[in-house]
Structure 1
Amino acid sequence: MFIWKKSCSAINQIEVNPLNAQVKAQENMKKYGVKMEAWAPFGERRNGLFENEVLINIGKKYSKSSAQVMLRWLIERGVIIACKSTHIERMEENFNVFDFKLTDEDMKEINKLNTQNSLFFYHQDPKMVEWFDEIVKSRRDNEDCRKDKKNW
């Protein structure tokens, strides 16, 4: 995307969470002035992120939940966050992350959780690439899609 275009997206929304930190992707984006936005910052509740002992123990130091620790970790990395919740108490909790800072040691401990693997699918799987290509084509060809507003 960066190499062939004279301009590129300002924000790239990709899966980013402690188990899939996307460190190399963030370095590449930074090189081209693109900001990373975390899709699935909590891993969609997969792989026990909310119950992870590292995150819980760090949270105890600051009287914060594991979710708040994950959000703070993203903020301190400069990652844009888009959280979704239908529960008022969780929305409030998600906003209550600006009254503490993680130490360098906290950041290192969270970074050790990185498996460099998606919690959802393997992006190099040819079947997955074909599936994604079909989704893009179907949306592009959809009669309801405002083609005049999109540069397909």
Structure 2
Amino acid sequence: MNYIKLNDGNKMPQIGLGTFMMQPVDAEEAVYNAIKAGYRLIDTANGYMNERAVGRGIKKSGVSRNEIFLESKLWPTVYTKETAIDEMLERLDTDYVDLLLLHQPTGDYITGYKMMEKAVKDGKVKSIGISNFEGEPLEEILKVCEIKPAVIQVEAHPYYPQTELKERTTDINMKVQAWYPLGHGDKSLQEEPIFTELAKKYNKSNAQVILRWHVQSGNIVIPGSKNPEHIKDNANIFDFELTEEEMNKIKEINKNKRYYEPNPELVASYATMELKPELDV
């Protein structure tokens, strides 16, 4: 497993398990299987409504908590709630999280960020960052923050490599964490001829080649899967290396294509979208 050094000095595994859209029963089992397969990064969020299940999966694995890099995200409706972080820790059944992000650029995210900074000082959070903050919201955070964001979680993949965002954040060494790293199940991305060619050369799957591209691009990746074999395969990418020429060929397929368009009205609606309690189903 590769680790990447964050701008606050903490180290983070470069590949982990994402639990987006997983029902609690599936999330618990996937987390358990991932940790047993050698994963040490687990990603969840208030909005996924599976934090309790993630906590159970970690406990079930038998691996010491201090060996797991646990990450969650605060939903906009709790950005101003003083007990939000304590309630999150209770759901996860842990004393701290290794990384905490603001989930969406809406609501009073400035207060939310200040709350996370306080949590770092209180020892409840080790590193902080942002998710889906681009453009003006990102600039606002960078303008007022006392602790620079260590990670920005955004859609990123070979069709949308986030080149401009990376250029903007180079000076503060903020790492990009990619969601939809494999293109949200889009066969046209995974079946690009360059990936088929490289998969044959390295005796890997097309998905493994794409994940290797992420790692060599400096991204942190959190592919989600409930399939134990897929979970194992997704992490089996550290026994080969793409050449500079191959990395340059992959650059050529950039289509500046998102799978999720951050519609302003939809993003704004998250500020009043109350979350339901987690159901153990």
Structure 1 residue 27 displacement after superposition: 2.0
Determine if contact 1:11/1:36 at 8 Å carries over to the other structure.
yes
Whole-Å Cα distance in 1 between the matches of residues 226 and 272 of structure 2? 30
Whole-Å Cα distance in 2 between the matches of residues 47 and 106 of structure 1? 20
Taking only aligned residues, the RMSD between alpha carbons, in angstroms, comes to 1.8
1:126-150 Cα deviation digits (max 9, x unpaired): xx11211111x114xx3879xxxxx
Count of residues paired in the alignment: 137
Gaps of 5+ in 2: 1-140
Number of the residue aligned with 1:134: 269
1:74-130 Cα deviation digits (max 9, x unpaired): 100110011111111111111110000000111011111111231222x4xxxx112
Number of the residue aligned with 2:37: none
Gaps of 5+ in 1: 146-152
Determine if contact 1:14/1:38 at 8 Å carries over to the other structure.
yes
How is 1:2-151 mapped onto 2 (pairs within 5 angstroms)?
Answer: 2-46=142-186, 48-121=188-261, 123=262, 128-135=263-270, 137-139=271-273, 142=274
Number of the residue aligned with 1:148: none
Determine if contact 1:29/1:36 at 8 Å carries over to the other structure.
no
Q: Residue 56 and residue 2 in structure 1: after superposition, are their counterparts in 2 closer, same or farther (change >3 A)?
A: same
Q: Residue 143 and residue 97 in structure 1: after superposition, are their counterparts in 2 closer, same or farther (change >3 A)?
A: closer
Determine if contact 1:59/1:69 at 8 Å carries over to the other structure.
yes
With the length of structure 1 as denominator, give the TM-score of the two structures: 0.82
With the length of structure 2 as denominator, give the TM-score of the two structures: 0.46
Determine if contact 2:183/2:190 at 8 Å carries over to the other structure.
no
Point out the more displaced range, 110-119 or 64-73: 110-119
Percent of pairs with identical residues: 29
Q: Residue 143 and residue 51 in structure 1: after superposition, are their counterparts in 2 closer, same or farther (change >3 A)?
A: closer
Secondary structure, in 3 states, of the residue corresponding to 2:266?
helix
Whole-Å Cα distance in 1 between the matches of residues 226 and 255 of structure 2? 29
